[in-house]
């Protein structure tokens, strides 16, 4: 996603714990500036300062924000402690709040902004075995809708993308392989293959473009047709 934003003409700031070496190199090849700001987004007190450092590094305020942070532990509902529930909410939902509070005033002042948050199609199909993860993604979708209503009059659109199960290093290292979730998911999809990150990028690029000027408060499912909204 970061590389696509650069290809589409944007300088890109990436907030992450680990340096995204390959994206930084590809952004440079696209002729744009890429900046990495080291931060653990679970430390929400540091998010606003990290945004400011990124904006200073590229020399302009943020016009586009894509939020893609989260974990997806597998657990039965009765086994989830209150502490584990709160910890996942802190990681999957709370960073979105100071992130947007840091950038939305500037977007309002300039009369233009794009916000895209990664949700999940599990909010629509339930996904047994991931109850606290599904709850966090429902919270993101609800916040997107509320913010779309609040900031639409100021030229700011706020949308979400609900991917299906995407083949990434993270999902391949998680419970999905052993549990056979990849195969079971493809069996239920009209399009019979596993999603890759490239499948999600096009929806993101559309939502941050001028072509999506009248699209806000929406959640677009990118999941091979598994969920039809």
- In the set 72, 124, 133, 151, the catalytic residue is 133
With H, G, I as helix, E, B as strand and everything else as coil, classify residue 167.
Answer: coil
Rounded CA-CA distance 160/67 in Å is 9
Burial (CB < 10 A; 0-12, 13-18, 19+), residue 140, is buried
Burial (CB < 10 A; 0-12, 13-18, 19+), residue 206, is middle
Of the candidates 187, 194, 191, the residue with the CA atom closest to the CA atom of residue 165: 194
Rounded CA-CA distance 143/150 in Å is 10
DSSP 60-125: S--SEEEE---------GGG--HHHHHHHHHHHTTTHHHHHHHHHHHHHHHT-EEEEEE--THHHH
**What residues contact 125, with CB distance under 8 A and at least 6 apart?**
226, 227
Rounded CA-CA distance 117/43 in Å is 19
Active site residue 133: yes
Active site residues: 133
């Amino acid at each position: 996603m970061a590389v696509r934003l650069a290809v589409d003409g944007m300088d890109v700031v990436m907030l992450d714990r680990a340096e995204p070496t390959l994206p930084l190199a590809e952004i440079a090849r696209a002729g744009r500036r890429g900046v990495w700001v080291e931060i653990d987004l679970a430390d929400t007190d540091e998010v606003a300062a990290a945004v400011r450092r990124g904006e200073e590094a590229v020399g302009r305020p943020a016009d586009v924000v894509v939020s893609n942070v989260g974990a997806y532990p597998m657990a039965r509902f009765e086994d989830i402690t209150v502490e584990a529930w709160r910890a996942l909410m802190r990681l999957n939902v709370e960073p979105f709040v100071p992130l947007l509070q840091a950038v939305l005033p500037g977007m309002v002042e300039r009369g233009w902004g794009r916000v895209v948050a990664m949700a999940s199609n599990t909010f629509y199909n339930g996904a047994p075995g991931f109850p606290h993860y599904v709850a966090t993604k429902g919270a993101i979708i609800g916040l997107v809708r509320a913010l779309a209503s609040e900031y639409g009059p100021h030229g700011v659109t706020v949308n979400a993308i609900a991917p299906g199960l995407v083949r990434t290093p993270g999902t391949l290292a998680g419970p999905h392989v052993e549990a056979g979730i990849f195969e079971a998911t493809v069996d239920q999809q009209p399009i019979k293959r596993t999603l890759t990150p490239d499948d999600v990028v096009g929806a993101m690029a559309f939502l941050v473009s001028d072509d999506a000027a009248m699209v806000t408060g929406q959640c677009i499912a990118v999941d091979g047709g598994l969920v039809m909204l």
